[in-house]
A and B are shown apart, each in its own frame.
Chain A
Amino acid sequence: MKSIKTWILVVLASSLLVACGQGGGGSGSKKSKTLDNTKKAGFVKCGVSQGLPGFSNADASGNWTGIDVDVCRAVAAAVLGDADKVKYTPLSAKERFTALTSGEIDVLSRNTTWTLSRDADIGLTFVGVNFYDGQGFMVRKNSGINSVNDFKDGISACTNTGTTTELNMRDFFNSKNIKYEPIAFEKADEVVQAYDAGRCDTYTTDKSGLAAQRTKLSAPDDHKVLPETISKEPLGPVVRQGDSVWEDIVRWSLNVMIEAEEYGVNSSNASSLKDSDNPAIKRLVGAEGELGAAFGLDNEWSLRIIEQVGNYGEIYKKHIADTNILPNRGPNQLWTKGGILYVPPAR
């Protein structure tokens, strides 16, 4: 009768497993599972690109830098007290959302365009915008093409697969009634190589991406980016749907960096501003109010972000302007200085 006992055991064990499976998902309460797990692990799990200078790029010794990377560093500074406690996972455009929804990463900060269908349909939540971008075209300088109006039937365009660029490109050429040949690669490096070899006449992606990838071409000065912008590409960090506390932490980690610039708080003067006369500044550096408590963090979370990572102006200058990718801030300037960076007040 041994077999029957085994049989009963197997059934019991299996039903237990099924029960665990049902209870295993996220919880709807105020507590944040992601925050708890992050504190337990001791690092923030951050998804970045496979290498886009200025946004997320690894140097020869494996250190990641860029403005997308700094969003994750800000979250680590806020939650764990140390901006360096981040584990980076380089992801292709195709892998990024699955990595986030499956829990392999907790923050996706990888020049990702905020769109309705991505936000609403596939279990993601966009928390804000850290770079306002738009899609453009790069061509060879000697091609005689000076504007998108010079494109004619038969033009071939290289881009990345699985991106909004692929869709915008179709919308654009259709609206102009131009027959084009789309060549879509999985990795950005292969797009650059194919374009460089002459496989396609134009390379289209976000303008910041074009500026960054141009530095990888064999003769960067032989190429130029056309003046027109054919789409809106608000790029920003993404989190999983269903953990509103974690979502708030990431959102406000980004927001305080922008607000800090607005009030002139930077990495070098932040701690000395604790006795400032301006209450908004005092709140930013944690000298007034109990803002951190709302997320279950201490009161100096925002001070740590500003001290360890910097304000938005500092990180833009360091990664985008000084590297000559896009020296002009364009729309990514504060609203007070003619740009469109405008964040809700941290109070």
Chain B
Amino acid sequence: MSNKNKDLIPQVLTVLFIILVLIYFTINAQNNMGNRGISFGFGFLSQESSFDITFSLIDYDGSHSYAKAFLVGLLNTILVSAIGIFFATILGVTVGISRLSQNYLISKTAECYVEIFRNIPLILQIFFWYFAALRALPLTIDSINFYDISFLNVKGWYVPRFIWTNFSLFVYSLIAATVLIIFVSKYAKKKRDEIGKQVPVFYISLGILFGLPFLTFLIGGVTLSFQIPELTQLSKTIYVYQGGVTIIPELISLALALSMYTATFIAENVRAGILGVNKGQKEAAASIGLTKGQILKLVVMPQALRIIIPPTTNQYLNLTKNSSLAAAIAYPDIVLVFAGTALMQTGRAIEIISITMLTYLSLSLSISAFMNWYNKKMAIKEK
């Protein structure tokens, strides 16, 4: 037998073995389900779900299908993960840089923050933010009032609803502004490379971003008005705000807990990244007269990012997966809505759990793919 075959056979055997194990599990599951009178199939997805969900980004009620309920749960998971990732990144970078500050108070505060929030289990933090917040917030009638347009109480945070006319024109103007900004920054980079002149990209971009949409208000007929939440009385002591948009306390506390927790890990990544940049780089930058801010932005950060991005990708994935703890505090994410209520009402455990697992897998792989792309973009380009 040739050497090539010798190398190949163990691998083929392994693959075959895995396939056989899978076949065994499938047949076993099928048999057991058959014996216990459980049918298998995805037909239930089109049936009427007949349960309602507190909070949904799309139009949904119990007369819609289980597939739609799944979508509601998925969007809620994506929403809380996106909010969590956004704030975790901002907070993490801030705290990470603060830990390296020369100022004793700032660096110690940042250190305390990291050590406290990193070392308490996430589920306890979620319970803390939820139940502590619920206990601390006032009842509807005594709401905390923000200038008579927004109200915070135990049932949620009520904000004005935006009512648009010609909304599509406004969106187009935003797209146009984005495209314009990309061109401006490309042009600025070219100018800098060619004649070494700094174009104030930031201010120009800011101008375009606000100016263009503002123009649509002036000449495009776009109008925006607000519907302010109004206090209505339901009974002697029960009040509720109606008419505005409600941000439910479950979403607020979950997003808060997720971002506070994950920010500690990102902060440590950022600190490691900055410390990982050679000291000589900073000294060289200082010697040509760059300011402290410029050194951080132009010399340290671009190099630190290469160290920061890969472990931070892991933290983004963790945050997304950790959002499944939402079920504990009634935030209607995919686990609560689909792997919880829908599973119970239909009893289709194998189908629903497989769909849910595949969904988390796809979410994680998408985040991972995006971060890999970003990492490549940031990597050292050999010229």
- Beyond the given pairs A167-B345, A169-B52, 20 more chain A to chain B contacts, judged by CB atoms under 8 angstroms and listed by A's residue number, are A7-B16, A10-B16, A21-B31, A22-B27, A94-B344, A98-B349, A117-B347, A122-B347, A123-B33, A123-B37, A144-B236, A152-B234, A152-B235, A154-B242, A161-B327, A162-B344, A163-B344, A182-B51, A190-B330, A241-B36
- Tell me, yes or no, whether A26 is within 8 Å of chain B by CB: yes
Q: What is the CB-to-nearest-CB distance from A344 to chain B, in angstroms, rounded to a whole number?
A: 24
Complex-state Cα separation, A4 to B328, whole angstroms:
53
**Contact: A161 with B336, CB < 8 Å?**
yes
Q: What is the CB-to-nearest-CB distance from A121 to chain B, in angstroms, rounded to a whole number?
A: 6
Complex-state Cα separation, A283 to B341, whole angstroms:
45
Complex-state Cα separation, A162 to B344, whole angstroms:
5
- Tell me, yes or no, whether B50 is within 8 Å of chain A by CB: yes
Complex-state Cα separation, A163 to B51, whole angstroms:
10
- Of residues 140 through 165 on chain B, the ones whose CB sits less than 8 Å from some CB of chain A are 154-155
Q: What is the CB-to-nearest-CB distance from B2 to chain A, in angstroms, rounded to a whole number?
A: 13
- Of residues 229 through 250 on chain B, the ones whose CB sits less than 8 Å from some CB of chain A are 232, 234-238, 240, 242, 249-250
Complex-state Cα separation, A194 to B330, whole angstroms:
10
By beta carbon, the residue of chain A nearest B9 is A3
CB-defined interface of B123-140 with A at 8 Å, one 1/0 digit per residue? 000000001001100010
- Of residues 1 through 55 on chain B, the ones whose CB sits less than 8 Å from some CB of chain A are 1, 6, 9-10, 13, 16-17, 20-21, 23-24, 27-28, 31-39, 50-54
**Contact: B36 with A182, CB < 8 Å?**
no
- Pick the residue among A6, A24, A162 that contacts B341 (CB under 8 A): A162
For A340, what are the chain B residues with a Cβ–Cβ distance below 8 Å? none
**Contact: B343 with A162, CB < 8 Å?**
yes
By beta carbon, the residue of chain B nearest A26 is B35
- Tell me, yes or no, whether B302 is within 8 Å of chain A by CB: no
For B21, what are the chain A residues with a Cβ–Cβ distance below 8 Å? 14
- Tell me, yes or no, whether A214 is within 8 Å of chain B by CB: no
Complex-state Cα separation, A184 to B328, whole angstroms:
10
- Of residues 226 through 282 on chain A, the ones whose CB sits less than 8 Å from some CB of chain B are 240-242
CB-defined interface of A1-33 with B at 8 Å, one 1/0 digit per residue? 101101100110010011001101110000000
For B38, what are the chain A residues with a Cβ–Cβ distance below 8 Å? 101, 122-123
For A167, what are the chain B residues with a Cβ–Cβ distance below 8 Å? 50-51, 345
For B31, what are the chain A residues with a Cβ–Cβ distance below 8 Å? 21-22, 24-25
**Contact: A182 with B52, CB < 8 Å?**
yes
- Tell me, yes or no, whether A82 is within 8 Å of chain B by CB: no
**Contact: B17 with A123, CB < 8 Å?**
no
Report the count of interface residues on A (CB-CB < 8 A). 66
By beta carbon, the residue of chain A nearest B235 is A144
**Contact: A21 with B24, CB < 8 Å?**
yes
A-B pairs with beta carbons under 8 Å apart, 14 shown: A7-B9, A21-B27, A24-B28, A25-B32, A117-B347, A121-B346, A143-B236, A151-B234, A156-B155, A158-B330, A169-B52, A170-B52, A182-B54, A193-B134
- Tell me, yes or no, whether B329 is within 8 Å of chain A by CB: yes
**Contact: B344 with A170, CB < 8 Å?**
no
For A188, what are the chain B residues with a Cβ–Cβ distance below 8 Å? none
* Nearest 9 Cβ contacts at the A-B interface: A144-B236, A122-B347, A162-B344, A25-B35, A21-B28, A14-B20, A123-B36, A197-B134, A154-B240
Q: What is the CB-to-nearest-CB distance from A137 to chain B, in angstroms, rounded to a whole number?
A: 13
Report the count of interface residues on B (CB-CB < 8 A). 59
- Of residues 201 through 255 on chain B, the ones whose CB sits less than 8 Å from some CB of chain A are 232, 234-238, 240, 242, 249-250
- Tell me, yes or no, whether A181 is within 8 Å of chain B by CB: yes
Complex-state Cα separation, A169 to B62, whole angstroms:
11
- Of residues 171 through 204 on chain A, the ones whose CB sits less than 8 Å from some CB of chain B are 171, 174, 180-187, 190, 193-194, 197-201
By beta carbon, the residue of chain A nearest B348 is A122
- Pick the residue among A10, A94, A117, A170 that contacts B340 (CB under 8 A): A94
Q: What is the CB-to-nearest-CB distance from A73 to chain B, in angstroms, rounded to a whole number?
A: 26
For A185, what are the chain B residues with a Cβ–Cβ distance below 8 Å? 328-330
**Contact: B345 with A14, CB < 8 Å?**
no
- Tell me, yes or no, whether A140 is within 8 Å of chain B by CB: yes
**Contact: B13 with A161, CB < 8 Å?**
no
For B28, what are the chain A residues with a Cβ–Cβ distance below 8 Å? 21-22, 24
**Contact: A184 with B36, CB < 8 Å?**
no
